[in-house]
Every structure is written in C-alpha cells, then in structure tokens.
Chains A and B, each alone.
Chain A
Amino acid sequence: MKTEILMPSLSPTMEEGSLAKWYVKPGDKVKPGDIIADIETDKALMEYESIEEGTIVDLVVREGTENIKVNSLIAIIETEGSSEINEKRDVSIKQREPSTKIDSEETLRIEEKVSSVPSIINEAEKFDQEANENQSINELTVREAINSAIAEEMRLDDDVLLIGEEVGEYQGAYKISQGLLEEFGPQRIIDTPITEHGFTGLAVGAAFTGIRPVVEFMTFNFAMQALDQIVNSAAKTNYMSGGQINCPIVFRGPNGAAARVAAQHSQDFASLYASIPGLKVIQPFSAEDAKGLLKSAIRENNPVIFLENEILYGKSFPVNINSELVIQIGKAKTVSTGKDVTIISYGIGMMHTLEADKKLRELGISAEIIDLRTLRPLDFDTIIDSVKKTNRCVTVEESFPVCSIGSYIGAQIMIRAFDYLDAPVLNCTGKDVPMPYAENLEKAALITPDEIVFSVKQVLYKD
C-alpha cells in the first residue's frame, strides 16, 4: 500500500522549511531509521529518518525546494502489509485527501487540525500573508533585523560584543547570531557555559569598564537566575555611585509564550523589568522597530532589557534597510489612526490587535492603534493625546494580568485624563495561571483577537 511522507516539524513553532537534500531516489528500499532527507529551517537542520519499511515510489518535492509547509506531502513510499502505523497514516491521508485539489483556505483549516502548533501560528501566518500583499521592496524577518542590528553596531564599535549560550559555533539557539562568529571571531562572539547568574555578572563587570556587551539569554525565563545581577548590579550602580559608574549593556532574548512549552518557558516579564528604575525596557513588534531600537539600545549608556518573541522571529515586515536606521527609545508609534477607541499594545500583542482591527473595521468601529515599543520609559504623551481624542481605551498584552503594563496605563489614564473617559479602561491580558501544556488549555490562556474585539465592544457599550 502507498503511504505519504509528510513534511516534519522540527520545533513547536516551525511552520515551513526547505528540503535541503534527498538521500533517496524512486526505487530505493528504505528501513526505519534510514536517513531519507535533510530538512532545514532558518533555525535548524535535521536529518529526516524514515519510520517505514518499503520502497520509495515518488519524491513529490524537488531537492532545494523552500517554504514547504509542515505536514504537506513530500514523498510517497510503498509499504507492505497494514501495520498499526500504516492505519494511523491512513487516517491522516484520508483527512488530507482533498489536498490534491483544494483551495488555500481549506488547506489552512486542515492544517489547523493536523498541525501540532496552536492557532496563534495560523493567525501569524495570516498576518504574514497580508504583509506580503502590501509587500514593499525590502522585506526582512525580525530575526534578520536583530542579526543585522548587532552586526552593524559591532562593525561601528570594537567595544560591542555578544555573549551568551550558543551564540557562536551553534549560530544561536534561535539563529539570531547566524554568521556573526565567522565575521567577528571568538573574541567578540562569546559562547558561555550554562551559567546565567555568572555570565550576567561577568558582563555587567565588563560594562562597568566601558565594554558594551550584548547579553543573549536563550530565553528570558532563564534570566530569572540572573535577576540579582540585572536589578541589583546593572540597574543601580549608576545611582549608587553618584553617576561615576554606568552600565552600557543590553540584555536580550525571547520573552513571552512560545508554543506548547508550558509554564516555565512561557511568560512575559515585561512589567517586572519595567518596574525597575535604572533599566530601560523595549519590546518591539515589527522588524524595523526591532532593528532600529536594538541599535539604539546598543548605543545606550544604560542597561536595556530588549524583549524579543520567538513566534515573531520568522515574521517578515517591510523594512527600511538603511543602516543608519536608529529609532529613539521611549517613543510609541501610532500604527493607525481612529476615532472610536484607542487600543494600546506591544510585542506580539500587536499581532492580535491588528487581527482584531480587521474585525472591528467590519463592524464599523474605528480604532486608533498604538504600539508602545518602549515600556520604560512609557510614552504617555502619545497615549494621553489619543485617549483625549477617542475617550475610550483597551490595552492588549500577553502578560499576566496582575500589575501588568496595561493596569498601570489604565491607572495613569484615570489620573491624567479622567474627565475625558467615557468608559473604564479595559485590559486584555493572558490569563492569571501558569501556562498549561495541553493545546486547548494553552489557547485558552493566551489572548485572542476575539477577546480584544469583545473588550472594544464593551468600552463602546455595544452588544
């Protein structure tokens, strides 16, 4: 019987990849464990093993093909008998049967069923498609933007270096530092042992002497081990020394939920860091902001927490590739103007907000959307001006609700623009629980565009 071989997923957030190499050709016999292909993404390379015994009948995609969606057909193998595995495969084939001739919308729906990634990815995908529709000439992923910001600043200033786990030879756990070791060498691209507390303290000490380290945390979850050095050493020494010893350092890495990695690996620390005087805190959404703000962060004479997002790394955005692109820290961006309600968000919250905005437009609701970009210092001028115009506000973020950025903004709007408000400020946040693993529970714990739409309707007193 014929069995389909599908494009595998190498990671929870992988959406597509390339077929770098076929090790088999039609007619070849394979056994379970035989390597049949190299699958590559912008993050990783994997040797793909057969789990079947049989004969390769057809290679559906050609070697070198890029952007192959996870779970799409890549080859067909003739197997003997009807093992349990084959029965399972049959089910998946049946589900996919119309895939020989279906429209893209259906593919999306089927992929939602079979994919192991949650719907958030599909939202991201839709967003991507749209970005592609409005394609400008220069497209850059957030990953490329961050990589080029680091590289450009390292070329400008010999005191800038990158330090962290797997930043060098491994090329970055999320491939942010791809190619940097080759260009700058091991003196400036420094692989550390797995000792967050220690290497953070070490980088802070180097920064006290004028070196400008960019510290990569594999994720900000692991920075918890280094929190003392960030808060007590990096953030406070300029003040405690009466301005004698400053700390020009960037702490960066993915923050917030990835996909299906559960409670210890999925949390947004933005409000925690934003509460500390002495730190500056940035959480960009677009590639252009990621690049321009990271360049500013590296030039900054103070410690900067630069919060990235794993799900956004692979997203493409139109970018002004001018290497002089530097975006000022502390300025929010009004992404679209509107008159009915102000929606304030940052980071991946912006992705959900833009998705929600489409539905709001269909409902005839005109939203003014503000991307905070910098969380400390907050740009209250932009926020208050907008609320004075729209008289209503919803905040959107992925963090826990207690002491969130949104709750602080809500309180400040009450203090600074009380008489302008026609409704209470509502906060859309992640749920007040540790992140669960199960797909449905995880989805329920995260914010969704529908929740944003619901909140907007509430502040507008609409059903």
Chain B
Amino acid sequence: MKKFSMSKKELLQLYHKMLLIRRFEEKAGQLYGMGHIGGFCHLYIGQEAVVVGIDSIKKNGDQNITSYRDHGHMLACGMDPKMVMAELTGRFTGYSKGKGGSMHMFSKSEGFFGGHGIVGAQVPIGAGIAFANKYKKNNYVCFTYFGEGAANQGQVYEAFNMASLWKLPVVFVIENNQYAMGTSMVRASSTEEMFARGQAFNIPGKAVNGMNVLEVAKEASYAADHCRSGKGPFILEMKTYRYRGHSMSDPAKYRTREEVQKIREEKDPIDSLRSLLIEKHKILEKEFKAKDAEIKAIVTEASDFALESPEPDIEELWTDVYAN
C-alpha cells in the first residue's frame, strides 16, 4: 500500500469539518426541540470521522450519495451550512427550496446526489452514477453510503452484482453504527462481518476503525485507487457509533446509557484527533478555543440565516413537479 500521511494543515482541516458537523448537529437538535425543524431528523453525531475522512481523499468530480442521515455528508463535501439549515427549517433559501427537508437535499455542483429516504434505495442509484462515470470515461468514483441495516436489503446485492460484473467505479461505504433504528446488528444480521458481504460477488472489502479519521482516509484512498484503476467496486465497512437516537423520537431503551458514555469517553473521533494534534503537532489550547469560536460563529450564522429566511411562496407548491 502507498504511504499515507497528512500535514498539520490537512489535519486541522479535518478537525474543522468534524467539529463543524458536531456543532451543526447539536444546533439542529436544539432547533428541532424548539419546533423549527419538523418531521424526521437523523443526527450524525459520533460518526463524523467517516464522511470527513473519505471527503479528504476525494478527487474533483467524485460523487457521493447516502441515506437520510445526511447532514454530515453535505457539510463534509462543502455544501453551505446556511442553506442546509435553511432546508432543515423548510425555508425557500434551502437547497431544495424547502421542499425536501432533512432527508432530501442535493447539490449537483458539489457532487452530492442526496439524501434518500428509502432504506437501501440509494445503493443501486449510486452504482448507476458510477455506471455513468464509466460510460462517460471521466474516471470519477461514486462513494455510496449506507448503514449496516440497509445492508440487509435485497437491492444492495443486486447492485453489488452489477457493479462487480461491469467493474463500476463505486466505493460502497457501510456505516456500521451497530443499530438499525433500535435493532442491534446481532439481532438482524446472520453475519456480523459487513466488509465480507461482497465476497459472493468478488468485491474486496475491508473493516475500518470509523472513529479514526486518519484510518478512514487511508483506507478510502486505497479503495478509490482500486476503483479508478478499473478494478471495479470496493466495500469499506466503517465501524462507527451514533451517540444520539435513530431520529429525534428515539425511546433510548435498546442500549444502555453507559454503553454510549463509554464510547464517547474512549473513542470519540474529534477528541482523538485533538489529542493527536496536541501531541504530535503541538497545537495549543488557545488555538482550539479560537477554532471553537470560529465554528460556533458559522453555526449561529447558519441558524440565524435559516430562521430569518422566508418560507417558500405558496406558488412553489406547483413548481418542480416536472423539469422543463
């Protein structure tokens, strides 16, 4: 494997993005509690290293697509926090003019193809984006995210088969946060080795510590190179954990408070990177304080922008049903 390293500047960038996602999601949780965000809202807190690590090795033109736990993916790929928050609050200034909400946001310019509300449906769609990449010979890779719960959907294996058969440039990223809603993996899966789910289709896979952003970046880089060299798909099982409930209305009965607390204390992806930055790159406490303030300002600005933005005009009900 190629030597993989990152500069201090790059690491600080990862830290910035992970912290932005964490603070943004905390704010989204607050706004939900205040009634500004409605419907379903699935927070990404705890899983930040996965999307931030992968985004750091993406090349210009690469795409990504995921399920409904998608705020982190959007912030990681450079979408504007103001417009994401505006969409969450159902405002006209949001990415989907307020018509998509938390689960359905897109940005063609950032290569983000959603935001999909049906468990597993984004997997063949992601393979299709990769199919188009191959058809157009543009050498882009499509990172297709789904949870270990979605990994039991039949269409996932239909997509695996075609992706392998046609050597499509797609990295299947299984974000294994151990719980599909309230069902732990052992209660739903006959096997626990998600990275091996492609074996029957000849798709190589690897389990990765998804709480370590550097590990994630390193393995994602390897997987993307594999795809770009024409060898077909690759599966990355990201072992991660979500601190919050499945959605905002989670009963919190299926796991113990202690379990969550232990992981927060011992494996938090942001804390680990912070320790590394202190130990190896001698970043000072005051620099972290400044970063905290910077992120807080971005999130406050996003929240203010969202709440000050108008709802969509009632005429918008009838627009965008069809493209011109």
Contacts and interface: CB of A to CB of B under 8 A. Distances in A.
A205 B104 CA distance: 15
A211 to B, nearest CB: 5
Given A208-B128, A232-B117, A232-B121, A242 B96 contact: yes
Interface string A288-324: 0000000000000110000000000000000000000
Contact of A198 (B117, B129, B155, B319): B155
Contact of B99 (A201, A206, A239): A239
A192 B158 CA distance: 10
B323 A301 contact: yes
Nearest to B154: A197
A207 B124 CA distance: 12
B220 to A, nearest CB: 20
Interface stretch (B105-113, B202-210, B244-252, B270-278): B105-113
B323 A202 contact: no
Given A206-B135, A208-B128, A198 B99 contact: no
A11 interface: no
Interface in B71-105: 94-100, 104-105
User: Which secondary structure characterizes the binding site on chain B?
Assistant: mixed
Nearest to B124: A201
A198 B159 contact: yes
Interface in B112-137: 113-118, 121, 123-133, 135-136
A204 B128 contact: yes
B80 to A, nearest CB: 14
B158 A197 contact: yes
Contact of B135 (A161, A192, A193): A161
A204 B125 contact: yes
B155 A197 contact: yes
B324 A301 contact: yes
Contacts of B320: 238-239, 241-243
B161 A193 contact: yes
A199 B162 contact: yes
A229 interface: yes
B165 interface: yes
Contacts of B126: 205
A180 B46 CA distance: 51
A242 B324 CA distance: 13
Contacts of B131: 202, 205-206, 211
A201 B156 CA distance: 10
A199 B135 contact: no
Interface of B: 63, 65, 94-100, 104-108, 113-118, 121, 123-133, 135-136, 154-155, 157-159, 161-162, 165, 319-324
Contacts of A207: 128
A216 B126 CA distance: 20
Interface string A230-242: 0011000111111
Contact of B125 (A208, A244, A280): A208
B114 A237 contact: yes
Given A208-B113, A245-B108, A198 B124 contact: yes
A206 B238 CA distance: 26
B129 A208 contact: yes
A82 interface: no
Contacts of B114: 237, 240-241, 245
Given A229-B121, A239-B320, A278-B322, A193 B165 contact: yes
Nearest to B105: A241
| Across the A-B interface, the 10 shortest Cβ-Cβ residue pairs | A205-B128, A198-B158, A201-B124, A246-B323, A205-B125, A242-B97, A202-B128, A195-B158, A242-B96, A240-B104
A218 interface: no
B25 to A, nearest CB: 21
Nearest to A194: B158
A46 B324 CA distance: 47
B129 A237 contact: no
Given A238-B322, A240-B96, A301-B323, A209 B158 contact: no
B90 to A, nearest CB: 12
Contacts of A243: 97, 319-320, 323
16 contacts: A195-B161, A195-B162, A197-B155, A198-B127, A198-B155, A199-B124, A202-B128, A206-B131, A209-B133, A211-B135, A237-B106, A238-B321, A239-B320, A240-B104, A242-B97, A245-B108
Interface in A174-205: 187, 192-193, 195, 197-205
B320 to A, nearest CB: 4
Contact of B321 (A193, A203, A248, A278): A278
A200 B136 CA distance: 19
Most buried by A among B107, B121, B123, B128: B128
Contacts of A193: 158, 161-162, 165
Nearest to B140: A209
Contacts of A233: 116, 118, 121, 125
Contacts of A27: none
A204 B121 CA distance: 10
Contacts of A28: none
B158 A199 contact: yes
Contacts of A246: 323
